[in-house]
Structure 1
Amino acid sequence: MLAWRKGLKQPLADLILPGALLLLALWLRLHRLDQVEFLWDQAEISKWALRMARQGEIAWVGPPSSTGIYSFLGTVWLMAIPYALSPSPIIATGFVALLNVVAVLGCYLLARRWFGRWAALVATLLFTVAPWAVIYSRKIWQVELLIPFTLLYAATGWWAFVKGKGWAVPAHALALAWLIQIHLSALALVPLTGLWALLFWRRLAWRWVPPAILPAALLFTPYLLFDARHQWFSLRRFLEMARRPATLDAGALHAVWINTTGLDLHWLTGPDRYPEFVAATPNLRGLFVVEGGLAFGAALLALLQVARQARRGLDEETAAALMAATWLAMPILFYTRHVVPVAPHYFTTVFPAPYLLVGWLVRRVASWTRTRGRAYVFALGLLIGAIALAQLREITGLFRFVTTHDTLQGYDTPLGYDVRAARTALRLSRAMDDAEVILLSEGDEPRSYEMPATADVLLYGYPHRAVDIRTALVLPAGPAVYWATYAMTPGEALLAIFAQEVPEARLPLREGKRAYRFYRWPGGFPTIPDLQRLPRPLRWANGAQLIGYRVAGDLRPGGTLRWTLVWQPTRTPDEDLYYHWFNHLLDAQGTFRGQRDGPSVLPAYWRAGDTVLNWFEIAIPADAPPGNYRMRVGMYTYPALENVPLLDGAGRPAGEWAEIGPIPIGRGSAGR
């Protein structure tokens, strides 16, 4: 009977329970991938990977980081794999999620090797349902690719430093170098490797260290060559940042505590909606604090265990506990002093160290209580189960909340809405003989704004461009489909005069408070209400041609003039810069009375034959005398602030601005 029970427990612990945890990890990380966030970072990484996978542009570096420094190539190379199979960002997100499911399996295998099967089950259970570990596995982002390779780093570190295997030394060096290639936050692991080498120096096969450094260093060659060709931009930027005054605080400790426990989910719900989320979910968050206490307490216990064994040498279990404890602690120590603000996502490299420590703690408690009964182990097991269930409820409740509530200050519009909108725009485009798609959004520069960058991915391979509907409207000579993503603006209201909305295509977003809207434009020159045509077009050297203007608003002193320039590009500029308009309001005596500058349209999106409207609101001083005013209009490059020459009929420079009008100030309201 005893042998039968033992035989039953063996497959339960070895196959059924780990398999169940792996299935749970699959469900949490791959369920409803169309509901993930897709922000500017995800779009920019995707664009680099798409160019590499589908256009053969080999990436030597990655996209610039928030610090301005170019990232390394690791993330782009990894993401080129799914994008070679499909241009869908949902497929690419699934690739990231699958890698993190492999990390769950890696956690089980490493924990079992270190502490045995039951400790491995505890560690893997907590890692599987850890809210932030799940969140950091469902997005195309550098830091979300770190966890699986961090486990490889730890495993090769074990074989190199504790087991003394020579082959593991170069493997560990390559894993460390590759982690840095993915994200610079992995630099915190460099001193950790050094610490492990010092702690286990007697076991390390030192003869393997020099040949291990060379292949790891070679991974950085493309980056260095790129930086050298660009006047060492990133290196100079890095040295400049290093000279900044450093901050010493507990931000890193707080970030690791958050990642470990799953607290502070208000960052995703938004502070305005967090009370609703708390009210809608069981408040078992006190258990999360207990989990953090168990993890950090286990780390301290590991250090005490090391101190007791220091004279006679560490056994393998204690050595593994020491590795886990230092793995948890080193990123905290490394970023306690910092020159850029720390954020929780900089610390994904600590996963799954806290849960390995909790698994080890359970093993130690089981060992200590073996002669005193199993009540303590049973109670600890119930506590671990309660923590896991509470966190499972928390993360599933969070996903349900953010995908059904319009969390404007937290979780962004889920990707699935953007995918459906892009498909709608393309369907309407095909019905109009493949008309181009024009995105109406906040901003038009994909290198700076989220929706233009997202459209570059979702409409990859199709003609499209973006317009900042807050300041401009573009009406092309040919047919077009407009995809409006921003709140209704005067510009979109003006578009509705020229183009027909497709009401059946309107796509409501979460809670129906906002919606994506679509318009059809047949092409040609629009009949613009209240257009004041110039006697002859004014041409600038960059290809802009001003053909008229509109006057609207309250034209009385103290009112606001709504001034619209109507112009046409004659070419697409080759130069990679921005052009802004300046508008100086002059009274009848030529005295300056007001000004408003603003962007035109992204030059890369200028098309010959377009009609462009740029509008500006200019405050009229309360003491402005009535009369026929004029507007001094010109263009300049931004941010260089160099005026663009105005050309005469023969194409020769003829000044830098023109004065147009009249504008009747003091006569009430005008236009719409």
Structure 2
Amino acid sequence: IASLALGIVEGRAFPLWGTQSSVGVYLPPLADYLYALPLVLWKSPLSAVLFTGLLNLAGVVLTWWTARRYWGVLAGLVAGALFAANPWAVFYSRQIWQPDLMPPLAMACVATGYAGFLEGRRWAVGAHLALLAAATMTHFTGLALAPVSAALFLIGRRRLPWREVAGGVALGGLLAAPYALYLWRDRAGVLAIIGSATSDGAVADSTAAHYWRTMLTGDGAHALLGAAAADWGTGWFLVERLAAGAVLALLVGGALVGMVRFFQGRRDAATWAALLAALWAAMPLVLFTRHSTPVHLHYLAVALPAAPLLAGALVGAVGGRARAALGGLGGLAAAAQGALSVALLVALGAQVTPGGFGFPLGQQVRAAGEARALAPSAVLLVPGDNATSDEWAAVLGIHFYGVPHRLVDGTRAALFPPEDAALVVAPGAEAGLDAYAVFGAVEDLQEVPGRAGEAPLTVGRLRGGVAPDLVPVGERALLANGVEFLGYRLEGTLAPGETVVWRIGWRLAEAWHNPGRSYHMFNHLLDADGARLAQADGGTLPTHAWQVGDLVVQSFALTIPEDAPPGPYAMRVGMYTFPEMENQPLLDVAGLPAADSVLLGPLEAR
């Protein structure tokens, strides 16, 4: 998301769609445009995280203001405190993610709807419709607000300000236009993805109800600790469950109060506000109890502010000691959940949480700072080099915005720069670091630790101009895509039953490649008669970033079958486009195709 937002800031791209959803369909792009706002001021992921936090803080203030306006001072305090302390609200305000924007957007949408349709504030009607579109264009779950809008229209149908309605619809249409264009242009592909995702048919189960209770009451937040939750104190589990039970009671009580007041004939703004909050809270259950695709917890974030509003409605509906008692219950629940959130933050910052919360941003910031101090450019060794789909590639790429850097999939390649460069190695990409170490290209290595038990980030300096010690190819081996094979290094014992490490070096001699294609390398181990004994294929570097002069060493593991004849052995290497499988032939001195591969051998270990 931050990568797309930076592209908007730089004017490189104005996307019609956002990141891919869990279903496979691309999400609307509005979140990317929203996150571009803080990045205009400070091109760091920290600015986007702070933006998320500030929006959610605004959502808390708006919840307090709305509850206070319709149900009184104590109701406002209870509602605001419960929203602010809900552990899920706390943690959904600390990331760069579309669902993290849903609670404040939903609260703003509902609050303007109340002001416009219940109080007759004309400007708020247009704002409500625009915010409804904004919520939906941020995440599909914004559609859960549509029934609330429909109910508001019914309530205020006799005094609709049509000019403001038209303005809100026009602004909403403008926000939806990019995504609508994408859906129309790629409608066949979108329908195919939806058809595939829903092909197993719909089922009705309790998943949505479980997640509804979890999200709206603040229950189950210990799941953020992953496997480490087993070591958490029993007392905290009790606090979590009791506080969630209190919030659930207040939530249900607020919904019942709205219904009782309605059937008593009290059709004032306070009654409508409570009923609409109940409808808002219930909509995720209506939408997701029967589902054709998996239901996830973050789908319920759109309804999170409805729970504190309903608690406020209950507090405001009673008087005397009952009000004080319910207000005290809400305050105790908020205090307990606030303490729980603090305890979770401390635990998350201190130890690894496998299966739970991800890597803290602080470790990444420290590693990026240390790397920038080493050299003016950087090589980022990551497990997967596609910044649009691979997490570490996207994360580290953002941290090095404005710094010349190259993304290299360390599971298969090592790029040797012509000048000194900083090296950052993400967990899972250590194989590439081994290649640098073998050829003596890396120095000043240091680890940037994370939490206890967590894999560190490794930072070091790559020496520029290192020529890897390889067994030379012999005659020039230039392929049709401009790649020239330089030589190889074989580590291990060349014997039946043994596994060897095969490193093949190449450089981009000519810019003949197609930047829109992906090139893969093949390595065929042959016996003395030319029979294939083993094979290893793999991708190279992101082709759009290839530069003439790039020197790359790629590493593969091959196991020689136990029944293979003894050596000598040879290796046939080459490249092809993927997935088209178009071979890149070896060229002769005249530049004409001479063979479909390069034959190296007899092989010798080094």
Same fold (TM over 0.5): yes
- Among residues 79, 97, 106, which one is paired with 1:141 in the alignment? 97
Q: How does 1:129-278 map to 2 (within 5 A)?
A: 129-163=85-119, 167-198=123-154, 200=155, 203=158, 205=160, 212-226=168-182, 228=184, 233-234=189-190, 237-238=193-194, 241=197, 245-270=201-226, 272-278=227-233
1:121-145 CA-to-partner distances (Å, cap 9, x unmatched) read 1111111111001111122221212
Larger mean CA deviation between 187-196 and 456-465 belongs to: 187-196
Counterpart for residue 9 of structure 2: 53
Is residue 518 from structure 1 mapped to residue 459 from structure 2 by the alignment? yes
**Letter paired with 1:314:** R
Counterpart for residue 35 of structure 1: none
Counterpart for residue 491 of structure 2: 552
Is residue 386 from structure 1 mapped to residue 386 from structure 2 by the alignment? no
**Taking structure 1 as reference, are residues 280 and 609 closer, same or farther at Cα in structure 2, changes over 3 Å only?**
farther
- Among residues 410, 426, 445, which one is paired with 2:372 in the alignment? 426
How far does residue 234 in structure 1 lie from its aligned partner after superposition? Answer: 4.6
Is residue 347 from structure 1 mapped to residue 300 from structure 2 by the alignment? yes
Counterpart for residue 635 of structure 1: 575
- Among residues 578, 581, 587, which one is paired with 2:521 in the alignment? 581
C-alpha separation between the residues in 1 aligned to 2:143 and 2:560? 55
2:250 and 2:310 in contact (8 A); partners too: yes
C-alpha separation between the residues in 1 aligned to 2:327 and 2:121? 36
How far does residue 280 in structure 1 lie from its aligned partner after superposition? Answer: 8.5
How far does residue 341 in structure 1 lie from its aligned partner after superposition? Answer: 1.6
C-alpha separation between the residues in 2 aligned to 1:204 and 1:258? 39
Counterpart for residue 256 of structure 2: 301
Q: How does 1:453-472 map to 2 (within 5 A)?
A: 453-472=394-413
1:311-343 CA-to-partner distances (Å, cap 9, x unmatched) read x46233221111010010012211223333221
Percentage identity across paired residues of the two chains = 36
How far does residue 377 in structure 1 lie from its aligned partner after superposition? Answer: 4.4
**Letter paired with 1:284:** V
C-alpha separation between the residues in 2 aligned to 1:214 and 1:650? 63
Is residue 359 from structure 1 mapped to residue 299 from structure 2 by the alignment? no
**Taking structure 1 as reference, are residues 112 and 464 closer, same or farther at Cα in structure 2, changes over 3 Å only?**
same
C-alpha separation between the residues in 1 aligned to 2:235 and 2:217? 20
C-alpha separation between the residues in 1 aligned to 2:130 and 2:63? 20
**Letter paired with 1:645:** P
C-alpha separation between the residues in 1 aligned to 2:166 and 2:457? 58
C-alpha separation between the residues in 1 aligned to 2:122 and 2:111? 14
How many residue pairs get aligned? The number is: 603
C-alpha separation between the residues in 2 aligned to 1:283 and 1:344? 22
Counterpart for residue 34 of structure 2: 78
How far does residue 357 in structure 1 lie from its aligned partner after superposition? Answer: 1.0
1:54-104 CA-to-partner distances (Å, cap 9, x unmatched) read 447444443443444333332122222211111122122212211111111
C-alpha separation between the residues in 2 aligned to 1:538 and 1:280? 69
Q: How does 1:251-650 map to 2 (within 5 A)?
A: 251-270=207-226, 272-278=227-233, 281=236, 283-298=238-253, 300-302=255-257, 304-305=259-260, 308-309=263-264, 312=265, 314-364=267-317, 366-367=318-319, 370=320, 374=321, 376-429=322-375, 434=376, 436-486=377-427, 489-497=430-438, 498-503=440-445, 506-511=447-452, 514-528=455-469, 531-571=470-510, 573-650=513-590
C-alpha separation between the residues in 2 aligned to 1:73 and 1:352? 24
2:126 and 2:167 in contact (8 A); partners too: yes
**Taking structure 1 as reference, are residues 76 and 494 closer, same or farther at Cα in structure 2, changes over 3 Å only?**
closer
SS in 1 for 2:381: strand
How far does residue 605 in structure 1 lie from its aligned partner after superposition? Answer: 3.5
State the TM-score, normalized to the length of structure 2.
0.91
SS in 2 for 1:82: helix
**Taking structure 1 as reference, are residues 509 and 590 closer, same or farther at Cα in structure 2, changes over 3 Å only?**
same
Is residue 92 from structure 1 mapped to residue 32 from structure 2 by the alignment? no
**Taking structure 1 as reference, are residues 499 and 127 closer, same or farther at Cα in structure 2, changes over 3 Å only?**
same
How far does residue 635 in structure 1 lie from its aligned partner after superposition? Answer: 1.5
**Letter paired with 1:447:** T
**Letter paired with 1:519:** G
C-alpha separation between the residues in 1 aligned to 2:7 and 2:381? 24
State the TM-score, normalized to the length of structure 1.
0.83
C-alpha separation between the residues in 2 aligned to 1:231 and 1:176? 24
1:416-441 CA-to-partner distances (Å, cap 9, x unmatched) read 22112112111111xxxx3x200122
C-alpha separation between the residues in 2 aligned to 1:619 and 1:233? 41
Counterpart for residue 15 of structure 1: none
**Letter paired with 2:492:** G
How far does residue 518 in structure 1 lie from its aligned partner after superposition? Answer: 2.7
2:383 and 2:429 in contact (8 A); partners too: no
How far does residue 539 in structure 1 lie from its aligned partner after superposition? Answer: 1.9
**Taking structure 1 as reference, are residues 183 and 487 closer, same or farther at Cα in structure 2, changes over 3 Å only?**
closer
C-alpha separation between the residues in 2 aligned to 1:293 and 1:515? 41
C-alpha separation between the residues in 2 aligned to 1:114 and 1:203? 22
C-alpha separation between the residues in 1 aligned to 2:175 and 2:200? 28
1:502 and 1:517 in contact (8 A); partners too: no
**Letter paired with 1:387:** A
2:251 and 2:308 in contact (8 A); partners too: no
Residue ranges of structure 2 left out of the alignment (5+ in a row): none
C-alpha separation between the residues in 1 aligned to 2:186 and 2:332? 55
C-alpha separation between the residues in 1 aligned to 2:199 and 2:70? 42
Larger mean CA deviation between 272-281 and 388-397 belongs to: 272-281
C-alpha separation between the residues in 1 aligned to 2:32 and 2:428? 33
2:250 and 2:330 in contact (8 A); partners too: no
**Taking structure 1 as reference, are residues 159 and 240 closer, same or farther at Cα in structure 2, changes over 3 Å only?**
farther
**Letter paired with 1:156:** T
Counterpart for residue 4 of structure 1: none
C-alpha separation between the residues in 1 aligned to 2:428 and 2:5? 31
